[in-house]
Amino acid sequence: MRRTHYAGSLREAHAGEEVVLEGWVNRRRDLGGLIFLDLRDREGLVQLVAHPESPAYREAERVRSEWVVRAQGVVRLRPEPNPRLATGRVEVELKALEVLAEAKTPPFPVDAGWRGEEEKEAAEELRLKYRYLDLRRKRMQDHLRLRHRVVKAIWDFLDREGFIQVETPFLTKSTPEGARDFLVPYRQEPGLFYALPQSPQLFKQMLMVAGLDRYFQIARCFRDEDLRADRQPDFTQMDLEMSFVEVEDILELNERLMAHVFREALGVELSLPLPRLPYGEALERFGSDKPDLRFGLEMVEVGLLFKESGFALFQEAERVKALRVPKALSRKEIALLEEEARRKGAGGLAWARVEEGGLAGGVARHLEPVREALLKATEAEAGDTLLFVAGPLRVAAEAMGAVRLLLADLLGLKREGFRFLWVVDFPLLEWDGERGGWTYMHHPFTSPHPEDLPLLETDPGRVRALAYDLVLNGVEVGGGSIRIHDPGLQARMFRLLGIGEEEQREKFGFFLEALSYGAPPHGGIAWGLDRLLALMTGSPSIREVIAFPKNKEGKDPLTGAPSSIPEGQLAELGLKVIRRG
């Protein structure tokens, strides 16, 4: 006897048909006389009914939730349809029921979502330990299937556009993306190690040198990062690279790809082209290089107004960022916002209330000389609160940016929907105060803006990169650049980053060599697929869209990884463990 249908696929049109179903018992109800079983498979569930006179009745009495069964019966119209279920107009009158596997009681319920009811979340550690049960839940299966559709849409689109999928190696040499490498010991020669790739960056560039012209990969990447909020040590990128292109070509292709993905996977239409914002403007207006555009609350630079105001705090600051809040904030709310600003390095958060007659509270007294100009610049009206952060650009803007985000939460401004934008014209380099040197903002293979090349050695901080980030609802979901394709410029870049000749040769010699054999101008991008999916599903964490993720400590409660290994295996690898005291 073989399965004829998925339980969740039965509809009125099947009435009268004899079917064989296989799946899990979602729930069992004994109504004294009749036994009802909800049989579940990945497509949904259908109600089975066992009458006392049916040979199936004895087995139906015995089965419990999550047992695996094979059911044979006839589809009937239900006297009382259940509007909450897609199969709610039919039921299956059982003729035979066979238990294929018994099951222990799961440590948390997995059935609610399938019945159209809200799923209660068990503790995450428990969910991860029993991930195969967690993945039985409807929401989790929805996520995995959406992920499949997204990847399928990417494949279809890029295939049509002439991209060739290539798998690049996992066991390789370090590819820097700003994190630590995971290392794998080489048994044949103790002391040698492979590195797991932080991205396929160097390989995809060498594929361009090879002449593939258009490459892509759904690529696993490995980064040993300090465990911050929502990261996984291994994660997935949609990675692509193109030859003979400029920034605009890559943005345009990616917009169409993203629109295709949203249409195919979610039925959502994105309006193209996506907005573009230079990094400097993003910082000045939103205090972030990944602004959330679902709400306004733009900040205004008012520093100039105070140049002769006599209010030392504002007069001497590099920037004075003002934010108009359309609400009279309470002291408590202001204190909360100030705490946020300080957390981001600001000295404080100044404020004043806008009233019919003028300004009141906070620093109102000091604002009096410039009141009119200030109200005009911020477009503030009676009933508003004005907030200010003064300081160096990055500090003032980013502190106010954090205040802006918190305000959006407080005022409930974060609307539903998907607000994309490109952030472009990033600086090429950042000053690393700790190391006392310049460091790259994306990775060391990013091309400087050709107009800024003369500044590379004289004023590196002002050099723009041909780099871009794709931002969705305040989250960076992609990033890439036009690359350096001239080996001379690449070596110059390494020098600027403080990577000496020796180190260059040792770490990237093969790559500089590759560039010297005729590299086409090229560029590309990678999307963080997990992050994108988390946003598409409205999930609080990327762990919700990864089948078998690690927990917040980077450990896997299911398999117990990472785990210790026997002495013998260590010896074979020529390794000795030094335990931390």
Q: Pick the stretch among 274-282, 383-391, 392-400, 519-527 that binds ligand ASP (CB under 6 A).
A: 519-527
- Listed as own residue / partner, the contacts of 364-372 with beta carbons closer than 8 Å and 24 or more positions apart are 366/309, 366/311, 366/313, 366/314, 367/311, 369/309, 369/310, 369/311, 370/305, 370/306, 370/309
The rounded radius of gyration (Å) of the Cα atoms in the chain is 30
- When the beta carbons of 68 and 166 are compared against ligand ASP, the nearer one is 166
Output helix, strand, coil percentages for the chain, rounded to the nearest 5.
35, 25, 40
CB 254 within 8 A of CB 238: no
289 near ligand ASP (CB under 6 A): no
CA separation for the pair 3, 71 (Å, rounded): 9
Question: Nearest approach, Cβ of 337 to ligand ASP (angstroms)?
Answer: 32
- When the beta carbons of 222 and 351 are compared against ligand ASP, the nearer one is 222
Q: Pick the stretch among 118-126, 245-253, 273-281, 523-531 that binds ligand ASP (CB under 6 A).
A: 523-531
Q: Phi, psi at residue 325, to the nearest 5°?
A: -105, 125
CB 375 within 8 A of CB 315: no
Question: Nearest approach, Cβ of 284 to ligand ASP (angstroms)?
Answer: 25
- When the beta carbons of 126 and 475 are compared against ligand ASP, the nearer one is 475
| 65, 385, 481, 504: which one binds ligand ASP (CB under 6 A) | 481
Question: Nearest approach, Cβ of 467 to ligand ASP (angstroms)?
Answer: 8
The first and second tokens of residue 471, run together, are 């931002």
Considering only residues 143 to 202 of the shown chain, the ones binding ligand ASP according to CB under 6 A are: 177, 199, 201
Left (φ > 0), alpha (ψ -120 to 50) or beta: where does 409 sit?
Answer: alpha
Q: Pick the stretch among 144-152, 336-344, 348-356, 478-486 that binds ligand ASP (CB under 6 A).
A: 478-486
480 near ligand ASP (CB under 6 A): yes
CB 345 within 8 A of CB 392: no
460 near ligand ASP (CB under 6 A): no
Site string for ligand ASP, 195-214 (x = CB under 6 A): ----x-x-------------
Q: Which amino acid appears at position 279 of this protein?
A: Y
Considering only residues 4 to 63 of the shown chain, the ones binding ligand ASP according to CB under 6 A are: none
Site string for ligand ASP, 334-373 (x = CB under 6 A): ----------------------------------------
Total residues interacting with ligand ASP, rule: CB under 6 A: 9
- Render 257-271 in DSSP notation, one character per residue: HHHHHHHHHH--PPP
479 near ligand ASP (CB under 6 A): yes
CB 55 within 8 A of CB 94: no
Q: Pick the stretch among 228-236, 264-272, 508-516, 520-528 that binds ligand ASP (CB under 6 A).
A: 520-528
Question: Nearest approach, Cβ of 479 to ligand ASP (angstroms)?
Answer: 5
470 near ligand ASP (CB under 6 A): no
Helices (H), 161-309: 201-209, 247-266, 279-286
Question: Nearest approach, Cβ of 297 to ligand ASP (angstroms)?
Answer: 29
CA dist 516 → 135, 288, 482 (Å):
49, 38, 17
Considering only residues 524 to 553 of the shown chain, the ones binding ligand ASP according to CB under 6 A are: 524-526
CA separation for the pair 40, 63 (Å, rounded): 14
The site for ligand ASP (CB under 6 A) is made up of 177, 199, 201, 479-481, 524-526
